[in-house]
A and B are shown apart, each in its own frame.
Chain A
Amino acid sequence: ETGVTQTPRHLVMGMTNKKSLKCEQHLGHNAMYWYKQSAKKPLELMFVYNFKEQTENNSVPSRFSPECPNSSHLFLHLHTLQPEDSALYLCASSQEITVVGEAFFGQGTRLTVV
């Protein structure tokens, strides 16, 4: 256990569905991240929150909507996804983005869009 918990571990959804991914960290960190991991591609940074404020949105389509109600929880709301959005979605946390150091990752949510 890394202290970062993601649910669900697996998700299959249709293109017209709405679902949410949840991430919770118990490390007292102030920065949280969403990454997309596709086969044979670099980890793609999607969103960054620092002290609950969104600091990065790397040109992510609006069908992905993040929410960070507090420093311990991060959500990724999904709607009208495309098959190419199928991937492993990883949540990570770190002390804060202005401090160099380790990012702790969750185990990811394996998303399949059918």
Chain B
Amino acid sequence: QQQVKQSPQSLIVQKGGISIINCAYENTAFDYFPWYQQFPGKGPALLIAIRPDVSEKKEGRFTISFNKSAKQFSLHIMDSQPGDSATYFCAASARTGGSYIPTFGRGTSLIVHP
């Protein structure tokens, strides 16, 4: 059972364009939603995260939009650059059983063409 559904699986964007990756979840107990970025040959690294008490969080060119009622959240990359080409994972976690252990989506492979 996939608790966090991520789409699209792959995304190709031209330099300067907007990249949008979407995630949906079922478990209403989730209360922490991080996005991780993974470059080839590297482990995932935290990019940006949001708690459900806000609808949007922006850090530079990266924005998370959160829709609690729809149980959806998305990552927007503005002015996409070739250096943004990587795999992006959304995740969700909740303090169930006393532990915050994230559940990851399948990942989105982003290619930004120069």
Contact = CB atoms under 8 A, between A and B. Distances in A.
Interface of A: 2, 4, 33, 40-43, 45, 48, 50, 55-56, 90, 92, 97-108
Nearest to B6: A42
Interface residues of B, number: 27
Given A55-B99, A100-B100, A103-B102, A42 B43 contact: no
Nearest to B43: A105
B77 to A, nearest CB: 20
Contact of B4 (A4, A40, A42): A42
A48 B101 contact: yes
Contacts of A92: 43
Interface of B: 2, 4, 9, 31-32, 34, 36, 41-46, 49, 89, 93, 95, 98-107
A40 B106 contact: yes
A108 B106 contact: no
A104 B34 CA distance: 12
Q: Which 8 A-B pairs have the closest CB atoms?
A: A105-B43, A97-B99, A43-B104, A102-B46, A100-B100, A100-B32, A42-B104, A42-B106
Given A98-B95, A98-B100, 4 more contacts: A42-B105, A48-B101, A102-B34, A107-B42
B101 A42 contact: no
Most chain A CB within a 10 A radius of its CB, from B32, B42, B49, B102: B102
Contact of A42 (B34, B42, B107): B107
Nearest to B3: A42
A33 B105 CA distance: 17
A82 B44 CA distance: 26
A42 B82 CA distance: 24
A50 B99 CA distance: 10
B91 to A, nearest CB: 8
B27 to A, nearest CB: 14
11 contacts: A33-B101, A40-B107, A42-B4, A42-B106, A42-B107, A100-B32, A100-B93, A102-B34, A102-B49, A104-B45, A107-B42
